[in-house]
Amino acid sequence: MKKTSTRLADGRELLYYDSRDDTVRDAVDRRTLPPVDTGPRPEIRHDPLLGDAVAVAAHRQDRTYRPPAGECPLCPSREGRLSEIPAADYDVVVFENRFPSLAGDSGRCEVVSFTSDHHASFADLGEERAALVLDAWTDRTAALAGLPQVEQVFCFENRGAEIGVTLGHPHGQIYAYPFVAPRVELMLRTGAAHRERTGRNLFDDVVARELAEGERIVLTTAHWVAFVPYAAHWPYEVHLHPRRRVPDLRALDAAAREEFPGIYLELLRRFDRIFGADTPPTPYVSAWHQAPFRAAGREDFALHLELFTIRRTPGKLKFLAGSESGMSVFINDVPPEAAAARLREAASE
């Protein structure tokens, strides 16, 4: 992997990640943009009742919204159409979001473009490109861990208009939170209580149970385990764990890193098959859960990826209505065992 750092016209950082070490990246952003620090800044507010944090980012109302393919800001620049990416082609690019939810002392938001091909998806990538994306996620986790205001790094992809995606180009995001996200904080507390009660690691016990029972296992390799969790919240939800528990992406060993592209691409391709060939591509969220950098219990946390879709059947979505949105009590229409069976059936030939 070769990494090349440059700056966009408004001062934001952009990083090219290339598979070839001899790649030269010298294109200059020729746009005229105001400096990024002249507009309203995101603000973090804390809910006194729930104890969690809310980012107030009014400037995001003006962000680019579903532009036509010819005006996509993530496609390479060309004569007459300058984009966020100055180069005429690229492998993987990471850059500071022009409309961040978090910025400055409140953290940082980055965009990860997986390919220059506007009409592709992550599932269309080859293993070499998927490995390069993993390298980029890992490199950014390491870099953002060095910022004093950052407590946790969240790498994720939203795919599909049903999820709320505003750009059709295959891309993900990286959020560097200045706090521990509520869901991770809850996992840390639950894990600590489990350790106190049993003397064992909660994540290890969860994976061991799924392997022992077997009926919710979707896919396994020498270094990874993918399963539908026993109490899945979403109609089709898969958790992907490395067999050797590690706290974050930086700690994955070479063997697990080598195997990841194959198992992850297979999972994504199965997601696109579960509702049938005549159904549009499956909308999904793919989310890496990493240990916070300074939280108590970090050594007991397990890096894992959660992949889920809000589609419950062809033409029908799972909406977060009263119970889910009002009380955080999920009601799942698809039994986890049935979801796992369907995902096994959708295996590549």
Query: Is a pLDDT exceeding 60 seen at residue 293?
Result: yes
Among the three residues 159, 177, 195, which one is the final residue of a domain in this structure? 177
DSSP label at 349?
-
The confidence band for 58, taking pLDDT boundaries of 50, 70 and 90, is confident
What is the rounded radius of gyration, in angstroms, for the C-alpha atoms of the chain?
Answer: 20
**Structural domain tally of the chain?**
2
How far apart CA 343 and CA 335 sit, in angstroms, is: 13
Domain of 313 in residue numbering reads as: 182-345
From first CA to last CA, the distance across the chain in angstroms is 31
Residues 139 and 209 in one domain: no
Binding residues for Zn(2+), as ranges, are 72, 75, 118, 169
Among the three residues 142, 177, 212, which one is the final residue of a domain in this structure? 177
CATH code (residue 261): 3.30.428.10
Nearest to 234 by CA among 339, 321, 160: 339
- The torsion angles phi and psi of 225, rounded to 5 degrees, stand at -135, 125
The reported pLDDT for the residue numbered 12 is 96
Task: Check 46, 119, 171, 223 and give the catalytic one.
Answer: 171
Residues 189 and 143 in one domain: no
> Which residues have a Cβ under 8 Å from the Cβ of 112 and sit 6 or more positions away?
92, 93, 94, 133, 136, 137, 140, 155, 171, 172, 173, 174
Query: Is a pLDDT exceeding 90 seen at residue 65?
Result: no
Residues 119 and 204 in one domain: no
Q: Answer yes or no: pTM beyond 0.85.
A: yes
pLDDT tens per residue across span 35-50 = 886 567 899 999 999 9
Residues 28 and 171 in one domain: yes
Task: Give the DSSP letter string of 54-120.
Answer: EEE-GGGGGS--S--GGG-TTSBPBTTB--SB-SSS-SEEEEE-SS-SS-GGG-EEEEEE--S-TT-
Between CA 57 and CA 233, with CA 107 as vertex, the angle to 5 degrees is 75
- The torsion angles phi and psi of 90, rounded to 5 degrees, stand at -165, 165
The reported pLDDT for the residue numbered 277 is 87
- The question of whether 171 is a catalytic residue gets the answer yes
pLDDT tens per residue across span 294-326 = 999 999 999 999 999 999 999 999 999 999 999
Query: Is a pLDDT exceeding 60 seen at residue 204?
Result: yes
The reported pLDDT for the residue numbered 69 is 80
Binding residues, as ranges, are 72, 75, 118, 169
